[in-house]
Amino acid sequence: MKLSHLYSDQPALFPPIRFRDGLNVVLANIRHPKDNAKLGHNLGKTLLIDIIDFGLLKGVTKDHLFKRRADLFAGFVFFLEIQLPTSGYLTIRRSAAEPTKIAFKRHPHPHQDFTGLPDPEWDHWRETFDNAVVLLDSLLAFTPIKPWSYRKGLGYFLRGQNDYGNVFQLAKFGHGRHKEWKPYLAKVLGFDDAILTDKYEADTALARLRADSAELQAEITLKPNDFEKLRASITVKRDEVDTKLRALDAFDFHGQEINLAREVAESVETEIAAINILLYNARHDLAQVERGLDDDIRFDLEDVQRVFREAQLTFPDQLARDYDDLVEFNRRIITERQASLRDRAAALRVEIATAEQTNATLGNRRQEILQVLGGTDSLQKFKDLQRQLDQDRASLALMETKAAKLESLLTLQDQLRQTKSRVEDLTTAIQQMVHHSSPRYQEIQRTFSRIIKEVTHRTALLYLDQNSEGNLDPHAEFSEADTDLHTEEDRGTSFRQMLCIAFDLAVLISYAKEPFFHFVYHDGGLERLQNKLKLALLQVIRDICATHGIQYLFSALSEDLPTQEDNTRLCPQPDEIILTLDDSGDSGRLFKMGTF
């Protein structure tokens, strides 16, 4: 696929552009370099990429220029003529006002003008956007990258200024959305992209299962190991409920009374006795603690001195100081002891209150059971046992709810184990896939390094490895020729731009004889490069266009062309300049109107 013709229904404002084979240059002439009001970077050479992309059915959001400035562009209808990979040409009609209504027309000869073509003569008229993308994809028939659409990788061959930051991750892919482009890149490099797609889907499933498992575990206090014990408890409780139901249905309480008597003797009374012992010990301990809190230092130095005076004995000052120190020491000890005793008293009071509450509950339960056992009113017994049955049913329902959640948790954990195993298997499959390489991958690697070598006389490597998550990470970087150690050159803007250009060309060369993109547009392809690198790059581009039939487009400022050092006519010739822009005013811009 190549570009052939771009025009609109308003040629006075947007003159037609005819593309050619080989080198195509969009040149911006700077005629007023000292006039800050006339900037060479606001002429439309970058906007041309957006217009071509619009013609190739890029989605239009509210942020698109045609939406933001509908007041200027709503009246435009654009026509993009492309050369199909098989034979003939296709014109795509799309209006700025109705970008979701698209028309197609196939024709055998290039450079047609269908601005006045009647509606019935279009092969497809006012197709919906989604249908139009599918239709264009089928007409292009890029079989080597199926099942991917032509739109997925178009950005590599329409590189704007924002797409030189990363060789592989275009600006439209954003950050972190590796699933959106790495499988496609693997396909382009000759690998099985389905493995990568499956791996990303498995990673997503694993993360979701972990989150669901953690959320469900937070809802229940039991652990998965308690499942069988809980099921046994449910079996016993269900049997109790069924027994009570049968007894109530038969109006027979003998069996229930036996169970109630056993419950009083074996459970309730035992628990009450144990709690009474606990209460006795706690209350005894509390009394001891409270007596300890009443202790205080009962030593009065004045009394001692009075006794010495009455006995007419001298009381030494040093002895008085020693007594004072001793009293202060004992006071500190008692203070610390009382703080500890107060904490202990508080804890005992809480323990006593809890035990008394439990004792009261058990007492009520004992009273209820004894009322049933000692009662003679069968109807009252029926009501009491009915109430107990309701409580048992509620307990059974709660247990069954816990069991259901626990079973769901076990199911999630089983799925988690299976998904973990699948992630590990796919990680190994990716490792083996990269290890065995592919002929296309090796060809692109060689071509990429050769282009960089011819332009910069440095060594650059293109390779894949696996990151910590087991997914592919592509790399394109300069290295030392002797040691193959990574250098910092690729961090510079100009050298990183060279890596992007070399990669795009290497891919196009690999697919030169197959239905695929056979053009590339590099906005500002020569910017930021030294003159000798510009000439070397132009030489490589010309050779590639001639040898492989690739259509190469780039935009440049006139001041970026190394014309003074060009002794071999490598710089663009007049017939290769398909569009000339300048800073003279409205007439020099892509759209012959004021700035917007």
Same domain, 273 and 358: yes
| Residue 233 in domain | yes
Query: Tokens 């739109």 correspond to what residue?
Result: 151
Query: Taking the CB of residue 473, how many other CB atoms lie within 10 A of it?
Result: 14
Same domain, 341 and 315: yes
Query: Tokens 């970087």 correspond to what residue?
Result: 477
pLDDT per position in the chain (596 positions), as tens? 999 999 999 999 999 999 999 999 999 998 765 554 444 456 888 899 999 999 999 999 888 899 999 989 999 999 999 999 988 999 999 999 999 999 999 999 999 999 999 999 999 999 999 999 999 999 999 999 999 999 999 999 999 988 998 999 888 776 557 888 999 999 999 999 999 999 999 999 999 988 887 877 776 665 656 666 656 666 776 766 677 676 666 554 455 555 655 555 556 667 777 778 887 788 877 887 777 777 665 556 566 667 667 765 665 666 666 666 666 766 777 777 777 778 888 888 888 888 888 878 877 766 666 565 555 455 455 666 666 666 667 776 776 676 667 677 777 888 889 999 999 999 999 999 999 999 999 999 999 999 999 999 999 999 999 999 999 999 999 987 544 444 555 456 788 999 999 999 999 999 999 999 999 999 988 888 889 999 999 999 999 999 999 999 999 999 889 988 888 889 999 999 999 999 888 889 999 988 87
How many structural domains is the chain composed of?
A: 2
Which residues, at least 6 apart from 293, have a Cβ–Cβ distance to it below 8 Å?
A: 338, 341, 342, 345
Structure token pair of residue 510: 């690999």
Question: Closest by alpha carbon to 433, among 145, 204, 193, 168?
Answer: 193
Task: Find the angle CA(332)-CA(338)-CA(340) to the nearest 5 degrees.
Answer: 110
Q: Torsion-angle region of residue 369: left (phi > 0), alpha (psi -120 to 50) or beta? A: alpha
- Are residues 248 and 241 in contact, defined by beta-carbon separation less than 8 angstroms? no
Same domain, 263 and 211: no
| Residue 299 in domain | yes
Same domain, 379 and 246: yes
Q: Cα(243)–Cα(240) distance, rounded to whole angstroms? A: 5
Q: pTM of the prediction?
A: 0.71
Residue that finishes a domain, picked among 327, 346, 372: 372
Same domain, 356 and 214: no
Same domain, 271 and 340: yes
Task: Find the angle CA(122)-CA(21)-CA(460) to the nearest 5 degrees.
Answer: 120
Q: How far is CA 563 from the centre of its chain?
A: 48
Residue that finishes a domain, picked among 436, 451, 485: 436
| Residue 321 in domain | yes
Query: Taking the CB of residue 241, how many other CB atoms lie within 10 A of it?
Result: 16
Question: Closest by alpha carbon to 166, among 465, 478, 496?
Answer: 496
Q: Cα(514)–Cα(579) distance, rounded to whole angstroms? A: 29
Same domain, 247 and 383: yes
| Residue 211 in domain | yes
Q: How far is CA 496 from the centre of its chain?
A: 26
Residue that finishes a domain, picked among 347, 372, 397: 372
Structural domain for 212, as ranges: 202-252+375-436
| Residue 275 in domain | yes
- Are residues 578 and 17 in contact, defined by beta-carbon separation less than 8 angstroms? yes
| Residue 480 in domain | no
| Residue 303 in domain | yes
Query: Tokens 């249905």 correspond to what residue?
Result: 249
Q: Cα(306)–Cα(296) distance, rounded to whole angstroms? A: 22
Same domain, 294 and 348: yes
